[in-house]
Amino acid sequence: MTEFWRRYRRNRGAVLGLVVMIAVVVLAASAPLVFPASPWKLAGRPFLQPLDPVFMLGTDMLGRDIAAGIAHGARVSLLVGLATALASTLIGILIGGTAGYAGGRVDDALMRFTELFQTIPPFILAIVLVVIFSPSIYSVIVAITAISWPPVARLVRGEFLTLRSREFVQASIVIGQGHARIMISQILPNAMPPIIVYASLMVASAILLESALSFLGLGDPQLMSWGFMIGASRNVIRIAWWMSVFPGLAIFLTVLALNLVGEGLTDALNPRLARDVRR
């Protein structure tokens, strides 16, 4: 662990990214305490400029507090990011692991299926899924997961394919261990480093996707999110720049921080993951 941290620490950008990520997590966790009122509440006069004594980041056209929206929006972004990264990783491991381990026709079939999902314009598929299952936090998570798992599957397949021919795996086969057990207890732990790195990048891309859906008005209508705030600011961009600038910066900094953390993890775990295997 100390070795891990020592290597991570050497990447200064990654340390900075980690600091920003911790700040975002603290912001999300403390939102109900710092801004106990609903972020939808009409708290003050409309169109208050930033640096107002009460509303530091100003208010929107209905007098909603932008700062409260950003704090509560962090919860949505992190929830969607983590949930989809987790779900996509599990699906990716299941499909990619099976394909890489089984090889042959199973591999062929599963990979054609994965390729199909990579050909379809992912964002449009996400829109179709959200619209068909009607927008909610669950349908958003399902939709983003549906378009996020294919690269994981390809990555995991590659790892499993290489590891399968290694001696320790062959030995497990010879002593008669079951396939499922070999996959989970022998191969998977060795395949984990690149998967972890990819998962951290996936949190970032999921946050971008969620914000894009919310921006288009296809997010959960009950929850305040960064994308929604920017979408709401579109028509008043000429008079209220702060309404779109602050939530946009929040998305940008969070995603940038996650990407930097991903690079730090790459350095620390030193997996054979090319840096360009993103998205």
Partner 1 sequence: MGRAGYILRRLLKGVIVVLAIIVLNFFLIRAAPGDPAMALAGEAGAADAEYLAKLRQDFGLDRRLHEQLAIYMWGFVTLDLGYSYKHGQPVIKLIAERLPSTILLTITAYVLSLVLGVVFGTVAALRVNSWVDTTFTVLALVFYAVPLFWLALMSILLFSVVLDWLPAVGYATVGAGHTGFAHVLDVAHHMILPTVALSLFYLAVYARLARASVLEVSRQEFVTTARAKGVDEGRIVRAHILRNAILPVISMAGFQAGHLVGGTVIVETIFAWPGIGRLAFEAALGRDYTLLLGVFFLTSALVVVFNLLTDLIYTVVDPRIEVAA
Binding site for partner 1 (CB under 8 A): 115-116, 118-125, 127-134, 204, 208, 211-212, 215-218, 227, 230-231, 233-234, 237-238, 241, 244-245, 248, 251-253, 255-256, 259-260, 274-276, 278-279
Quote the least distance from Cβ 221 to partner 1, whole Å.
12
| 213 or 268: CB nearest partner 1 | 213
Quote the least distance from Cβ 151 to partner 1, whole Å.
10
Q: At what angle do helices 122-132 and 104-119 cross, to 10 degrees?
A: 80
Quote the least distance from Cβ 217 to partner 1, whole Å.
6
- Can you tell me the distance from the alpha carbon of 196 to that of 131, in angstroms, rounded to the nearest whole number? 31
Contact 95, 114 (CB under 8 A): yes
The two counts, helices (H) then strands (E), for the chain are 11, 0
Q: Considering only CA atoms, which of 232, 234, 201, 251 is closest in space to residue 64?
A: 232
- Can you tell me the distance from the alpha carbon of 58 to that of 241, in angstroms, rounded to the nearest whole number? 10
| 40 or 117: CB nearest partner 1 | 117
Quote the least distance from Cβ 230 to partner 1, whole Å.
6
| 199 or 230: CB nearest partner 1 | 230
- Can you tell me the distance from the alpha carbon of 206 to that of 84, in angstroms, rounded to the nearest whole number? 7
| 38 or 118: CB nearest partner 1 | 118
| 182 or 201: CB nearest partner 1 | 201
Quote the least distance from Cβ 41 to partner 1, whole Å.
25
Kindly compute the dihedral angle of the four CA atoms of residues 78, 80, 85, 91, in this order, to the nearest 10 degrees. Answer: 160
